Amino acid sequence: MSDDASPPPEPLTLSLRELRDHLQAFQDDYLADKSDETVGTYRRSLNSFEKWFVSTNDFAFTEDDVHRYKTYLMEERDLSQVSVSTYLTALRRFCQYLTDIGKLDENPATAVKGNRRPDTHSRSVLTEQDIEKLEEVLGTATQIDKRDTAIVSLMLYAGLSEIEIVRADVEDLEHTLMGPVLRVQSKGRTVKDQEAPLDEPVVEAVDAYLDTRDDVHPEDPLFVSHGHRSDGERLKTRSVRSRINGYLKEAGIKRKGVTPHSLTHTAALIWLNDGMPIDEVKQRMRHGTLDTTMIYYKKQGLLKRDPEEIEELMS
C-alpha cells in the first residue's frame, strides 16, 4: 500500500441521547417541507433504526454496521424488499446529514443498496426434502416443542402468517359444519373477519400443545411464551420468527430467500400439488385476487425440485 493511501474513516459512536438529538435535528431540517405521508414514512423507518441501535449497543456507523442492519431487516424483521429499501433510504439520508454536519467523514450507507421492487413473490419456498428435514428437527418432548410444532403446522399446512398466529386466541378455534377453522385477523385488518380451514393433523398438533397448559380460558392467547420472565404472555411475532429461523438453520435448509414466511408460501404449493382446485387455494390463502394465487400456480413445480437447484435459481 502506498504511503499516501487514504486511511479508513473513523467510526462514530453515539450515546442514545446523542442519537436521538441528531435524529430530531435531522427530521426538523430535512422533513420541514415534506408531505405528511413522507414525514410518517421517515419517522417509522428511523424509529425502527433507533430500536435496533439500542438492541445492538455497538453500532459505529460503518458500512459493515449498515449491512448488519439490512440483514436484520430482511431476516429478523422479515420485511418485504420494498420496505427494506425504504428503511435503508431513510438511514442513508440520516447518515448524509451526519456527514454534512461533520460527524462522519463519509456516508457509510451509500454503498449499501436497497432491494429491487419484486414483480412476483420473491421469497423462496421449501421443497419436499426441506419439509422432511424441518419436521425431523421438530419435537414433542417438551411444552415448547409442542407449541413450536403446532405453529409450524399452522404455517406450513394451513397457510397462516406469523401475525395471524400471534393474534389468535383460544376461542378462535371453531368446529363448523364444514370442518375445523381458525378465525384470523390478517395484516392490515382490525377484526377477525376471515377463516382458515384446518386439516385434522393441524388440529391435533394445536390440541396437543393446548393440553400442556393449565386453566386455559377462551379469551387466552392461542400461543404464549414459556420463558421465566414472560411466562403466559402472548407470543410476539419477533419470537415466532426467531424460533422458526432457528429450526430452519438446525435443519440445514436456511438459504437465500428462505424465511419463516416461506412456510406460509409453501402451503399453497402443497395444496396445488395435492390437486386442490385453484379457487379453493385462493380462498384458503385469503388472496384478494386470483392473480396472486396464479403466482403460486406457476411455482408449484418448485416443491419437487432439488434444494440446491432452488438456491441456484434464487442467486
Residue 298 has pLDDT above 80, yes or no: no
pTM, rounded to two decimals: 0.60
**Range(s) within the chain of domains with CATH label 1.10.150:** 16-100
pLDDT at 4: 52
Mean pLDDT score of the chain? 84
From CA 239, how far away is CA 207, in angstroms rounded? 21
Output 134 or 79, whichever has higher pLDDT: 134
pLDDT at 32: 80
- Residue 269: alpha-carbon gap to chain centroid: 20
Q: 229 falls in which pLDDT band (50, 70, 90)?
A: confident
From CA 159, how far away is CA 182, in angstroms rounded? 11
**Range(s) within the chain of domains with CATH label 1.10.443.10:** 128-314
Strand partners, 175: 180
Q: What pLDDT digit, counting tens, does each position of 151-161 carry? A: 999 999 999 99
Closest residue by Cα to residue 171 from 147, 192, 146, 188: 192
Half-sphere exposure of 278 (CA within 13 A, CB side): 12
pLDDT at 49: 92
Rounded to whole angstroms, what are the CA distances from 170 to 87, 207, 302?
A: 35, 10, 35
* Alpha-helical segments (H) within the chain: 16-30, 36-56, 63-71, 81-100, 128-137, 143-158, 162-167, 200-210, 237-250, 261-273, 278-285, 290-299, 307-314
pLDDT at 142: 95
User: Would you state the cell numbers that stand for residue 211, as one nine-digit string?
Assistant: 393440553
Output 309 or 282, whichever has higher pLDDT: 282
Output 188 or 34, whichever has higher pLDDT: 34
Q: What pLDDT digit, counting tens, does each position of 230-239 carry? A: 888 999 988 9
Cβ–Cβ under 8 Å, residues 84 and 115? yes
Side by side, which strands form the sheet with 194-197?
173-176, 179-184, 194-197
Over residues 36-49, the mean pLDDT reads 87
Residue 17 has pLDDT above 80, yes or no: yes
CATH classification code of 16-100: 1.10.150
State in words which class domain 128-314 has: mainly alpha
Rama region for 276: left / alpha / beta (φ>0; ψ in -120 to 50; rest): beta
Question: What percent of the chain lies above the pLDDT cut of 90?
Answer: 41
From CA 68, how far away is CA 64, in angstroms rounded? 6
Output 36 or 131, whichever has higher pLDDT: 131
Q: What pLDDT digit, counting tens, does each position of 90-115 carry? A: 999 999 999 999 998 899 898 888 76
Q: How many other C-beta atoms can be found within 10 angstroms of the C-beta atom of residue 1? A: 4
